[in-house]
Structure 1
């Protein structure tokens, strides 16, 4: 999906969700401008046809390939709009090298700055959840699923399993993922030794990602966990929409609007 870029020129921003299966970009004032497969097409040489490469994988980011993909898809946006602020979602357990590689890739957009937000926090923001209370977030992506505990909006624990929505077309695969999520939730809750444990468990689970659009998976998970399972509206795009919420907050900040109060004379 691609739509015209917004006419905003004074202040620009992009929310970017680089997934192993799909890449989504939300423009400040323009909504979703990109929702496409995460692939790139380098030259294959004279003797072979074009290859399709997947440049963004968990724990392995092809910086050049990801940058080439973003440049190909967005090259007509940033030059006209100026240097945007970029808010980039990052899975909790990808680690510092992977986050640094993702940040390096989005430099092709010539951003004025790049801010990162944990995907779980972005999901919670998209759902308008109360982050003053402990929250369990399950992000069932295409190939990986993360379970994260947020306390005061900060990640305090996380688990990951190499199973995702791509394998939910049959009952055995769905059952395996449900069992894996239940085990991760138990590990996160049992491992938490703060006062957050009972409220987080009682509040239930906030579910996002491609797995959340599979009703059978959601029902099985709710039965096994025996706690409420709340599906985020439009769960497959929740992360990029949550990052867009942060863009809106940044735009309203006095440092961006120019409405910085004058210092009070001593």
Structure 2
């Protein structure tokens, strides 16, 4: 039986859906919609003072002043630096309009399907620390499926590939739950690193992480045509310690990305191949759906379709789908609360 105060809490609570990703944090507030979407980064001084978070911290990344470090306190969807993560999250919440102390707050948080019990406890402790009294979890790929309006309640279900910064999850969603899943420790960040490594090796040019990401977005492709032909970038010569500029074209970036893309495509194909044949036979006429920022590279869906010999398409909102799905679960918090009490 639910607590007699539950209906009162339901009426006065401040409800949030949170996608706390390694690369980006997105927060949805019930009644207001998407209220924050910023990089999961924090800049700290040597004494631990917060200098910047989100976009402002990203602007410093790779060009930090002396005595300042920019850190990403999450990796693979797990908290790797709890104090920095708490400080970052607290600063993000402080940006929300009318986010005043004293309100009863509840949150639905997306976590990787593979998250351990210890990682879930750590995430719950993190949110309690920043003033969220009730924390409920949803698997990120399931949230992405809900956010994309997929028919997850059908017995036949749907194959979905969620490509994050450090983690790619291949799941079969059916009958309202994830029936099969495989986690791959590779994602969009590996492509950024490949660009950085290539430029340092071939041009003696060390670039900041945001520059590598910008090049991937502007010049990257997996077949097809890149959005831009070339890009002028700025970095440092690691041997001389001097600033340096270069013009890089899409062909050079395509060559730099070939190896990590081949690895990612092969890993996804292998993961799909591990799902039992009797579980996938009903999906042969359906497109495998892609979610997450890593799915946005031009030509990626077409290349994956060639690897797995199945149609492949992207969900309507690859970046925001997970937080949209978590937001829909906010309407069922009373059910989640009862289920948790009976665990």
**What RMSD over aligned residues (CA atoms) do the two structures have, in Å?**
2.9
Which stretches of structure 1, 4 residues or longer, exceed 4 Å deviation after superposition?
A: none
Q: Could you tell me how far 1:111 is from its partner in structure 2?
A: 2.3
Provide the TM-score with structure 2 as the length reference. Answer: 0.64
Count the aligned residue pairs: 246
Name the counterpart of 1:14.
16
Q: Indicate how the Cα distance of structure 1 residues 104 and 12 shifts in structure 2: closer, same or farther if over 3 A, else same.
A: same
1:177 pairs with one of 261, 267, 273: 261
Contact kept in structure 1, 2:159 and 2:173, CA below 8 Å: yes
Name the counterpart of 2:239.
none
Provide the TM-score with structure 1 as the length reference. Answer: 0.80
Q: Distance in 1 between matches of 2:71 and 2:260?
A: 28
Q: Relative to structure 2, which stretch is displaced further, 91-100 or 170-179?
A: 170-179
Q: Relative to structure 2, which stretch is displaced further, 104-113 or 114-123?
A: 104-113
Matching of residues 34-113 of structure 1 within 5 Å: 34-45=36-47, 48-58=66-76, 59-75=78-94, 77-79=98-100, 82-113=103-134
Contact kept in structure 2, 1:147 and 1:160, CA below 8 Å: yes
Please say if 1:117 is aligned against 2:138.
yes
Name the counterpart of 2:242.
none
Is the partner of 1:99 in helix, strand or coil?
helix
Q: Could you tell me how far 1:185 is from its partner in structure 2?
A: 4.2
Please say if 1:151 is aligned against 2:174.
yes
Q: Could you tell me how far 1:145 is from its partner in structure 2?
A: 1.4
Contact kept in structure 2, 1:61 and 1:102, CA below 8 Å: no
Q: Could you tell me how far 1:44 is from its partner in structure 2?
A: 1.0
Give CA deviations for 1:131-156 in whole Å, capped at 9, x if unaligned. Answer: 12322111111232111122323223
Q: Indicate how the Cα distance of structure 1 residues 45 and 84 shifts in structure 2: closer, same or farther if over 3 A, else same.
A: closer
